[in-house]
């Protein structure tokens, strides 16, 4: 298997609410809205799919959607500490209108960066971070250092 992934899909209990958060508040634009809502996320696809339908698709029992730890977080790497503050301020000011909330305010992180967390309308955790050790390409992709040989 190649070391990559193509799509990350969040189950949502309310597609209208979730789309309003990502599109109306964050300004994302979908390229597909039939069955799954899909967004171009800079080299991979971010998708929204009905919570129960996503569980059924994987032959799993659906759990109760909502707040709480889901076992993972998605990260958005910002280009500056200011961008971290601006995005978390937007979520803090208007996120509740879309079902989102701040989980952890921005702070200097132990690893030398700056980060905070918010939860989307279905409780999925997003880290918003600035890492001074990583660079971006012009189109917003992370430019990671070459892996060291084992």
CATH number at 29 reads 3.10.180.10
In a domain, 2, yes or no: no
CB 8, CB 16: distance < 8 Å: no
CA 145/CA 74 separation, integer angstroms: 20
Q: Are 54 and 78 contained in the same domain?
A: no
* Res. 29 pLDDT band, cuts 50 70 90: very high
Domain that holds residue 140: 73-144
The first and second tokens of residue 4, run together, are: 């990559």
pTM score, whole prediction: 0.89
* Res. 67 pLDDT band, cuts 50 70 90: low
Please tell me the predicted confidence (pLDDT) of residue 150.
62
Q: What is the mean pLDDT of residues 74-98?
A: 96
Please tell me the predicted confidence (pLDDT) of residue 142.
86
Q: Are 140 and 95 contained in the same domain?
A: yes
Q: Are 97 and 137 contained in the same domain?
A: yes
Give the residues across from 115 on adjacent strands: 107, 129
Please tell me the predicted confidence (pLDDT) of residue 5.
87
Q: How many CB atoms lie within 10 A of CB 10?
A: 21
Average per-residue pLDDT for the chain: 91
In a domain, 46, yes or no: yes
Q: What is the mean pLDDT of residues 49-64?
A: 88
Q: How many domains does the chain divide into? A: 2
């Amino acid at each position: 298997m190649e070391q990559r992934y193509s799509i990350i899909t969040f189950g949502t209990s309310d597609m209208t609410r979730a789309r309003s958060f990502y599109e109306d508040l964050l300004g994302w634009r979908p390229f597909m809205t039939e069955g799954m809502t899909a967004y171009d996320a800079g080299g991979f696809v971010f998708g929204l799919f009905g919570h129960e339908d996503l569980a059924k698709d994987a032959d799993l029992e659906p759990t109760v959607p909502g707040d709480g730890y889901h076992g993972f977080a998605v990260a958005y790497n910002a280009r500056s500490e200011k961008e971290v503050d601006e995005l978390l301020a937007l979520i803090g000011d208007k996120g509740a209108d879309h079902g989102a909330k701040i989980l952890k305010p921005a702070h200097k992180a132990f690893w030398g960066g700056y980060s905070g967390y918010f939860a989307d309308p279905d409780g999925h955790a997003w880290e918003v971070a600035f890492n001074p050790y990583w660079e971006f390409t012009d189109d917003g992709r992370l430019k990671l250092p070459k892996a060291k040989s084992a």
